[in-house]
Structure 1
């Protein structure tokens, strides 16, 4: 009969032999998702006979000169900068999204020499035409960035807030051959540059004709994303409704030459998150026309997102940067579809 020391040695041998089998049977804890590597920022400027605009480019760590990436140009509103204090960069946090998804971000910044309030002059007729004023400067910036960093010219998207939203819409009308999609956050329609008391005398169909004339032979139905807070006291919600109507009529003018459109959305979805502002998304799909409109309840004149920073940030609303990228990323220049 084995003694206790023999039994102890035998037990230890079995334990050592079985340990690898037991460990293999226990599922390993899932490794946390690695954070995407941070990219880098590059300063630049573009100059022409129309003036100079300074900008900052954010390149994700995955950027390579031989790997054409999409571009998102983020255009700030009044009282802001592109990449300094109270900037579009900190408001949108596009850099974080770009590092994760793989696209280039451009932040143009307005000059005090053109506007003392740092607004883009989107309400001025001098800045609503192709080839002159701020549209030329922003378009030139896009071309320069695409060329310098080997970006994909078919995937250039412009998103603006407030006066920057007006500039983005103007680019959609004046450079539809350059801009794949447009996002307007708290902005208005192309060609509407007069006082609000003319809302009853100038219709979206009137300004749609102006937009068609601005497009000229390059006319196409540029996909449009519209975002508006229902408590905005700077840009009233009716301006978002007019912009949607203008773009619907513009699509009809391009397709048939007519102006009669059905104003009803093709799909409406109301979202009530557990925390934060409820919102309604209305989608319009008419042939090549693609318009999504978000009305955010309880939001004022702001850009929303959980990490948004600055004077015009609302952290209780949906992540607008994610929404912009989701809308834009599937719609390269000239694409037709939902």
Structure 2
């Protein structure tokens, strides 16, 4: 009888210990993914967006000192990459240092964060077809956050921009295709084309960028618009190789061609010009190629940093995926975004 009691107590103790460990692991994971209140500054507010189906996403908003609620300010949404968060530890907030730039330039920054356990390493699920469509999955949630920020903070709905790193860059491009009526520009840092999951990495030529361009164009439907795109790519990136960034430029050019007259016939007459910046003072060399339309409007800017690996470049960046010797991606992204709105 005593042996049976000891076994029962041991079973209860073991079960209780296991439950405690699981709860602790869940709590630590949630804190990692959601960040801590103490990580917020005076001008930061943490929110949770809920849609009509009960899905949700946490996000943090940073407002600049210029914000008074009476003047509509532009918005930059920044999407983190894998093994990162929107805010808190190893976050997009600290990687980009957008807050300091926003304080100087006068725009609102939004940092969505992936939901706990929605991805094994906290990626955005940009390779999942369910998350590549309007009205469902992560695109719908992120567009919903954009709308909520515009309403809550009285922001300028015509100047909502999205930028992303790695898987966040892939999702940013998806938003450009699925919600071109919401996001004025897209910035992709170390990211790929819409529908990249359909491309065999061993035989990428089997699925040319014009094929995935047709899929992106189809998503735009009657909302189609020339969405300006900024691409920043590292030449030493082994996670998202240089080829992938080049394909994104090709795809977006083809999408623009289709928008022009429904055909892949180069009717848009894009021209390109490349300038080179040499290495200096410990900073990487890079090339910048600008693609413009016949009327002189900038459609695509492509920065190639040959010495950079898988990172968000910038001299002030903090975190695991930064390259302080690279060009300032945050400055470049905002400089690109502020030239555009939904109306031109």
Q: Does 1:306 align with 2:315?
A: yes
Q: 1:290 to 1:70 in 2, by over 3 A?
A: same
Q: Structure 1: which 5+ runs fail to align?
A: 1-37
1:140 and 1:187 map into 2 onto residues whose CA distance is 23
Q: Give deviations 1:27-49, integer Å, cap 9, x for gaps.
A: xxxxxxxxxxx860000011112
Match of 2:214 among 206, 209, 212: 209
SS at structure 1 position matched to 2:197: coil
Normalization by structure 2: what TM-score? Answer: 0.84
Tell me the secondary structure at the aligned position of residue 60 of structure 2. Answer: strand
Contact 1:249-1:260 at 8 Å conserved across structures: no
In the TM superposition, residue 265 of structure 1 has moved relative to its aligned partner by: 5.4
Give matches, 1:52-71, under 5 Å: 52-71=56-75
Shift of 1:197: 2.7
User: For residues 143-154 of structure 1, what are the structure 2 equivalents within 5 Å?
Assistant: 143-154=147-158
Contact 2:184 2:342 in 1 (8 A): yes
Instruction: Give secondary structure in 1 for the equivalent of 2:276.
Output: strand
Query: For the Cα contact (< 8 Å) 1:245–1:263, is it kept in 2?
Result: no
Whether the 8 Å contact between 2:185 and 2:340 is mirrored in structure 1 is yes
Match of 2:86 in 1: 82
Number of the residue aligned with 1:177 = 181
Q: 2:275 aligns with which of 263, 269, 277?
A: 269
Instruction: Give the count of matched residue pairs.
Output: 298
Question: What RMSD, in angstroms, separates the aligned Cα atoms of the two structures?
Answer: 1.6
Q: CA deviation at 1:274?
A: 1.9
Aligned to 2:117: 113
Which structure has the larger Rg? 1
Residue in structure 2 matched with residue 296 of structure 1 by the alignment: 305
The aligned counterpart of 2:14 is none
Separation of aligned partners in 2, 1:263 and 1:271:
27
* TM-score, structure 1 as length reference: 0.85
> Alpha-carbon deviations, 1:197-245, whole Å to 9, x = none?
3412111111111011100100011000000000000001111111111
**Counterparts of 2:145 and 2:69 in 1: how far apart (Å)?**
18
Are 1:99 and 2:108 an aligned pair? no
Which stretches of structure 1, 4 residues or more, deviate above 6 A after TM superposition? Answer: none
User: Alignment partner for residue 286 of structure 2, among 260, 269, 279?
Assistant: 279
Partner of 1:186: 190
Aligned equivalents of 2:134, 2:50: Cα separation in 1:
16
**Structure 1 residues 318-327 or 261-270, which shifts more?**
261-270
Instruction: Name the structure with the higher helix share.
Output: 2
Q: For residue 262 of structure 2, what is the aligned residue in structure 1?
A: 257
**The 10-residue stretch of structure 1 (44-53 or 224-233) with the greater mean CA deviation from structure 2:** 44-53
